[in-house]
Amino acid sequence: MKGSSFASVEELVDNVTRGGEVEFEYARKQYSITHSSKGIHIMQFYNYSTEQVYKSPSDIVNYQINDKDLGSIVTDLIITFRCFH
């Protein structure tokens, strides 16, 4: 649902745990959360220097955006794409 947000950290982690991929906006920048055989990737669109790879879905909350961790801003994200509602 475009424009919605996650209600909690647990909802985001549950989505990613089930294999969900997410695209979101925060502070006028777009980001994606995707999966590969190497782990869970988070990065700003077209900015590979921001990419971080995590082994566990619960660790993605540590991803830093503007000196804030993803877990502390999860309810402020504007979700533009997500699997599993």
Tokens of 22: 């997410």
Residue range(s) defining the domain that contains residue 30:
9-82
30 falls within a domain: yes
Tokens of 45: 């669109």
Give how many domains the chain has, as a whole number: 1
In 3D, which of 20, 23, 41 has the Cα closest to residue 32?
A: 23
Hunting for tokens 């660790």 — which residue is that?
A: 59
Is residue 40 within 8 A of residue 60, CB to CB? The reply is yes
The pLDDT tens digits for 26-75 are 999 999 999 999 999 999 999 999 999 999 999 999 999 999 999 999 99
Counting other chains too, the contacts that 38-47 makes at CB distance below 8 Å and 24 or more residues apart are 40/16, 42/70
In 3D, which of 44, 48, 82 has the Cα closest to residue 63?
A: 44
3 falls within a domain: no
18 falls within a domain: yes
Give the pLDDT score at 10: 96
